[in-house]
Chain A
Amino acid sequence: MSGEEKGARLHEGSPLSAEESLALIERQRREVHRRLAVNVAQFYGPWGVAYLLGFGAIFLTYPTAVAVRLPAAVAVAITAVLFASAVVITAVTGARAGRGIRGPSRAAGAMYGWSWALGFCALGVVNTGVTRLGLPNDAVTLLWSGSSLLLVGVLYLGGGALFQDRFQYGLGVWMLLSGAGSVFAGVPGNFAVVALAGGGGLLLAAGYFALRPARPRR
């Protein structure tokens, strides 16, 4: 039988041979996984850009070895816009990920998504409360950069466990190290650590996942 005849017969839905059937199962399984999979590069990419450029801009408002100096207002504006964009992009991507599907996996994904929002709200309250007691400016800066990366790292550890993704778990460990490193780097070195190690790490992860073939969700 020619390939053309075979194709026509398959299209009509006529009985399949065992070989054709097994091939169809494999092809269809791969296709469904490809369409259902969420590429985490879509999550890491926007945050990587926001960290690298946003905190990079803040670093450049300080007198450093780098010749460029940015006005504080410009750096804050850049950071605010990049972070707001990253929040919107990842929230929309997350909400769209399991559209048309309900059940335990969808519930787990939604709870994980909300962990980010809840975690950062609580972090904001705690850090603002501590800051009100009166801390030196540098301590406030280090508190925010260190605790933010700590929370990001812990959430990636949780994501790695939930989605059975060792790479994401490893990224979490890297974020914990970056957070600790940022505190010991002092001001303004902490911004360089967050931008390069944090943002750079996220962009490398995004590149890795963009190039890696999509994984099944199970």
Chain B
Amino acid sequence: MSALEAPPGLDPVIHAQARLRVMVALAALPTEDQITFPRLQQLLDMTAGNLSTHLRKLEDASYVQLTKTYQRRTPVTYIALTKPGRRAFEDYTAALRILLTPQTEQPGG
């Protein structure tokens, strides 16, 4: 396996630098809490365009939920991990740990 290829068995939606960082930040929030777009952007030091692109991909996979609302007539977008999203992130980290666990050599392999 070349170092540049994604290891097999890893969720390709999460296994990308920027989206992984978004998932980690959202998973770090207390369960059921939501965060505004600008605060998430500030936590991650990402440009608005970059963050929107990756959020759209995560939303397409139903991993995050975007809630658009108004606060004093200003539109505000709140972002939170969905239940499947949280589970996918846990599965992903579990898969990483399995990949990194030293395997016992198969005889003749």
Task: Spell out A's residues near B (CB within 8 Å).
Answer: 1, 9-10, 13-19, 21-22, 24-25, 28-29, 31-33, 35-36, 99-106, 216-218
Q: How far is the CB of B93 from chain A (nearest CB, A)?
A: 6
Of A15, A21, A105, A216, which is in contact with the most chain B CB atoms at under 10 Å from its CB?
Answer: A21
Verify B33–A1 contact, CB threshold 8 A: no
Chain A hits for B78, CB < 8 A: 102
Given the complex of chains A and B, what is the CA–CA distance between A33 and B29 in angstroms? 9
| Chain A to chain B contacts (Cβ below 8 Å), 11 pairs | A1-B3, A13-B17, A22-B96, A22-B97, A31-B43, A32-B43, A36-B29, A102-B34, A105-B30, A216-B28, A218-B30
Query: Among B20, B36, B100, which residue has its beta carbon within 8 angstroms of that of A25?
Result: B20
Residues 6-38 of chain B, each 1 if its beta carbon lies under 8 Å from chain A, else 0:
110010000111101100110111111111101
Verify B97–A101 contact, CB threshold 8 A: no
Chain B hits for A9, CB < 8 A: 4
Query: Among B25, B30, B33, B100, which residue has its beta carbon within 8 angstroms of that of A28?
Result: B25
Verify B36–A29 contact, CB threshold 8 A: no
| Cross-chain pair count, CB within 8 angstroms | 92
B5 on interface, CB distance cutoff 8 Å? yes
* Interface size class, chain B: 35 or more
Of A15, A33, A217, which is in contact with the most chain B CB atoms at under 10 Å from its CB?
Answer: A15
Chain A hits for B97, CB < 8 A: 22
Task: Spell out B's residues near A (CB within 8 Å).
Answer: 3-7, 10, 15-18, 20-21, 24-25, 27-36, 38-40, 42-43, 78, 80, 93, 96-97, 99-100
Given the complex of chains A and B, what is the CA–CA distance between A16 and B4 in angstroms? 7
A contact patch SS: helix
Provided the pairs A13-B18, A217-B30 are in contact, do residues A29 and B39 lie with their beta carbons within 8 angstroms?
A: no
Chain B hits for A29, CB < 8 A: 24, 27-28
Query: Among A18, A24, A25, A102, which residue has its beta carbon within 8 angstroms of that of B33?
Result: A102
Provided the pairs A18-B99, A21-B20, A35-B43 are in contact, do residues A103 and B34 lie with their beta carbons within 8 angstroms?
A: yes
Given the complex of chains A and B, what is the CA–CA distance between A184 and B78 in angstroms? 53
Chain B hits for A31, CB < 8 A: 43
Given the complex of chains A and B, what is the CA–CA distance between A216 and B35 in angstroms? 16
Given the complex of chains A and B, what is the CA–CA distance between A99 and B42 in angstroms? 12
Verify A32–B33 contact, CB threshold 8 A: no
Provided the pairs A18-B99, A36-B43 are in contact, do residues A105 and B93 lie with their beta carbons within 8 angstroms?
A: no
Given the complex of chains A and B, what is the CA–CA distance between A106 and B39 in angstroms? 14
Given the complex of chains A and B, what is the CA–CA distance between A22 and B39 in angstroms? 24
Verify A14–B28 contact, CB threshold 8 A: no
